[in-house]
Structure 1
Amino acid sequence: MAHKLDDGTSIGYMEQRHFNHFYFHGNNDPHYAAEEEKCLRSTEDIKRGQFVGSYVGELITSQEALMRRDAASSFSHKDVYLFALDKFSDPKSQDPRLRDDPYEIDGEFFSGPTRFINHSCDPNLRIFAVVTDHANKPFHGLS
């Protein structure tokens, strides 16, 4: 099933059925790039500037993210889906929340299809910080 945006464009989605096993729907195609690396590609051309999706997951501290990275490195094939919310980080800021280490989003257990895209040494999508009406910069979104 695909969702329709206001302009009639269809976007795909995935549902988690089993741990780290997904069924994809809509205009995307799950495949393996090499040696069981999971990735996602669109079955339709993506226009320059087109919204593709938001990166979602569990919001964690940088200390928790470091522990999860260390734990993942002890496993040979453990995937890591951590994304730092560091767009507005500034060690000289008057706001202590922006001086501290940034929070991170972990897409390992709760996520969407965007966790499978742009994991390349030559990425082809741009990521933007998204700030809503509340302008809570330490907790900005990623799209």
Structure 2
Amino acid sequence: MTSHRDAGFFTESLSTRDPELYGSIVHELGRQRHEIELIASENIVSKAVMEAQGSVMTNKYAEGYPGKRYYGGCEFVDVAENLAIARACQLFGCAFANVQPNSGSQANQGVFTALLKPGDTILGMSLDAGGHLTHGA
């Protein structure tokens, strides 16, 4: 692999940058297309979903709600989230929807469970000090 400082870092495809990793992904795609998956926790999504999940949106951290984000530069994330909200409301015939995943809380709980013992003390930093919403500060 080449250094991230070269000109191709933002433009070269995975097949060029890391053929071995690309090969494993291609083989997994073939497996999924030709085998029936019976593991309940796995799911096969459409190409469109994979394109969205693998898009530049993956580079963006957008904590908060559309129009009320903690960080700037979220206007395009807001467009995508508002689309998802409107579509969920239409699909379920409701007036309100929250399409944000629960992830930060579960991540924190996993770390707490792995590293702490009952009675241990932890520091919950406020958002503006670099903490997470789930720290309760």
TM-score computed with the length of structure 2 as normaliser: 0.26
Select the structure that is richer in helix.
Answer: 2
Which structure exhibits the higher relative contact order, with contacts defined as CA atoms closer than 8 Å and separated by 6 or more residues? 1
Structure showing greater radius of gyration is: 2
TM-score, normalised by the number of residues in structure 1:
0.25
The structure with the greater share of residues assigned to strand is 1
